[in-house]
Amino acid sequence: MLHAGHVPDAVTGARAVPIYQTTSYVFDDPDYAAQLFELKQYGNIYTRINNPTTAVFEERLASLENGTGAVATASGMAAQFLTFMTLLQPGDEILASSHLYGGTYTQLVHTMKKLSVTTRFVDPADLDAWEQAITPKTKLLYGETVGNPKGSILDIEKLAELAKSRRIPLVIDNTFATPYLCRPIDWGADIVIHSATTFIGGHGAAIAGAVVEAGKFDYSRYPTISAPSPSYHDLRFYDTFGHYGFLMKARAETLRDTGASLSPFNAFLLIQGLETLSVRMDRHVQNARAIAAYLNEHPMVEWVAYAGLPDNPYYELSQKYLPKGPGAVFSFGLKSGKQDARAAGKAFIQALQLFSHLANVGDVRSLVIHPASTTHQQLSDEELVAAGVTPNLIRLSIGLETLEDLIWDLDQAFHAISR
Amino acid sequence: MGPGSGLSCDITLNSSLSPELRATYQNPGLIRDVLRESKTIAIVGLSSNPQKASHFVATYLQYEGYRIIPVNPGLDEILGEKAYPDLLSIPKDIRVDLVDVFRPAYDTPEIARQAVEIGAKTLWLQLRIINMEAAEIAERGGLKVVMDKCVKMEHGRYNGSLHWVGMNTEIITARKARRWF
């Protein structure tokens, strides 16, 4: 968190990571430039492809995730897209958990469809369903360590065994867990995706993402990685770069061509975030556990979906994969009594003083959102349930405030809507 | 960025060797010594195809100041250097420090014997090439041995350039960067 990826530079010895706010880099000589463009030298070419500040963030995250390397992107959505665009071609299929972030869902269903890549969804807990849904076209398995919106925990090890037996890479979105709480690569995942916007940054000041790769998957059956690349004189990335093949391809081709690169300034902000990740996550989890327990006992709460509670169906999986705690994002159902559930949710949010009402998670400040009156308001009650969101669902992202202050705030909001 | 001067982690990633064998054949200290002390590198199995890994490695090493000696029976000359059919054919006045091997594992014991005969100091088998017999032959002949590693990746790891493409160099240090080789 503190040292990996950064060696103080030889000239200035600057201790903090300098911000290399530059678009481009002077080449040593024409031969060197030519070699750089042929990828025969590792070096800085153009900030759309790489940047020394961004590289510190990339290597540090790769180190934390126990990966062989990383590519940073402009957002978490861009990280997913970069992965899909690097691995897949028209006609391929993605097999994904149905418990996903809404943005991921729309990218898979609508945007990837335009590229003739279709996605099938399965209940993440049903391993037989995963196995049965794999077709010869399935080129990627996808899931979230802690799934949206109900906080389900993915059985990564089992899924990795299945993926391995079918020679398909397992891609895990580890945003809600961060590498401090869970390292999917250690359980057999091949690619880890992050929205670095959330806990990794922590400050809620920068949108960012990253793709980390384990370097263990055999891509020789994936023409997108192993076949000659027409844009690099028929270079075979997997043959030439070995376990760096996927990442080199993702950077030198997909990132170059899609342009969703991270700004060096944002990389700097994320590096500041990473420096305190473990301390923050401990506190996030400590607060989240206490608030989940408080809500679980509250008469105005119908249910609490936090895998850290012993009565949660995912408790055992969370003990295995997230022994320090299943993060700090979870939802609960408000008991509305005679009141309309949507109206009660809206009134509850309205009454909160400390929880910020917004559409993000993983901030140092506590956050709240009522999907039925905001992100999902256009859906009918039936459609909401199909999307895994009930009208009374309220999602919390627990921050670092003093616990008593947060409980005071929830208390007074419950009181306000019970009148 | 830049090489670490102090601690360097043992690389545990991407090798099928056991931890004990990695400590012997992928030792970071040994690898740094080899890259620092070597000046002339014979590349056995260097391809003339500019998109092959061996060609990438040779181009890189040349640019980094090493002299490369191509060893490939099918070639006369490549990258401005005369090619030889085998290690034994390299003229005696060329002192080969490092023999870098891009050949299937079953070819490596014979290459190891030749490396001993020409007085090379190190036998280096590239990524995914593992052969214990070759290692023993070279060790008995007094050579250092590295296996299942890429010379270019290792050089880039310590001199800092691999870091620039977002790879995990596993170098952890709070000391100022300095150039190792």
Check A39 against B179: CB less than 8 A apart: no
Which residue of B lies nearest to A230 if distances are taken between CA atoms? B51
Chain A residues with CB under 8 Å of B13 CB are 66, 68, 214-215, 243
Nearest CB among B4, B14, B168 relative to A59 is that of: B168
Give the confidence band of B14 by pLDDT, cuts at 50, 70, 90: low
What would the mean pLDDT of A70-80 be, rounded to a whole number? 98
* Angle in degrees, CA A78, A393, A118, rounded to 5: 35
- Asked whether residue B170 is domain-assigned, the answer is no
- A162 CB within 8 Å of a chain B CB: no
- A30 CB within 8 Å of a chain B CB: no
Chain B residues with CB under 8 Å of A58 CB are 166
Which residue of A lies nearest to B177 if distances are taken between CA atoms? A10
Chain B residues with CB under 8 Å of A239 CB are 52-53
For residue B44, give the CATH number of its domain.
3.40.50.720
- CATH number of the domain at A278-418, please? 3.90.1150.10
pLDDT of residue B3: 36
What is the tens place of the pLDDT at every residue in A269-292? Answer: 999 999 999 999 999 999 999 999
DSSP H or E stretch at residue A347: helix A341-351
Q: For residue A165, give the 3-state DSSP assignment.
A: helix
- Give span(s): CATH 3.90.1150.10, chain A: 278-418
pLDDT of residue B2: 34
What is the tens place of the pLDDT at every residue in A245-262? Answer: 999 999 999 999 999 999
Tell me the longest C-alpha to C-alpha distance in chain B.
48
Range of the domain at B84: 19-164
Nearest CB among A69, A233, A251 relative to B168 is that of: A69
Closest CA of chain B from A58, distance in Å: 5
What is the tens place of the pLDDT at every residue in A126-135? Answer: 999 999 999 9
- Asked whether residue B106 is domain-assigned, the answer is yes
pLDDT of residue B1: 31
A328 and A284 in contact (C-beta within 8 Å)? yes
Whether B7 shows a pLDDT value over 60: the answer reads no
Residue B17, CA distances (Å) to A22, A120, A269, B53, B85 in order: 41, 38, 38, 21, 31
- A22 CB within 8 Å of a chain B CB: no
- B175 CB within 8 Å of a chain A CB: yes
Quick check: pTM over 0.90? yes
- Give span(s): CATH 3.40.640.10, chain A: 30-274
- Between A178 and A150, the higher pLDDT residue: A178
Instruction: Work out how many domains chain B is built from and give that number.
Output: 1
- Give the right CATH number for A30-274 from 3.90.330.10, 3.40.50.620, 3.40.640.10, 2.40.50.140: 3.40.640.10
- Asked whether residue B4 is domain-assigned, the answer is no
Predicted-complex ipTM score: 0.86
Whether B4 shows a pLDDT value over 50: the answer reads no
What is the tens place of the pLDDT at every residue in A319-367? Answer: 999 999 999 999 999 997 777 888 899 999 999 999 999 989 999 999 9
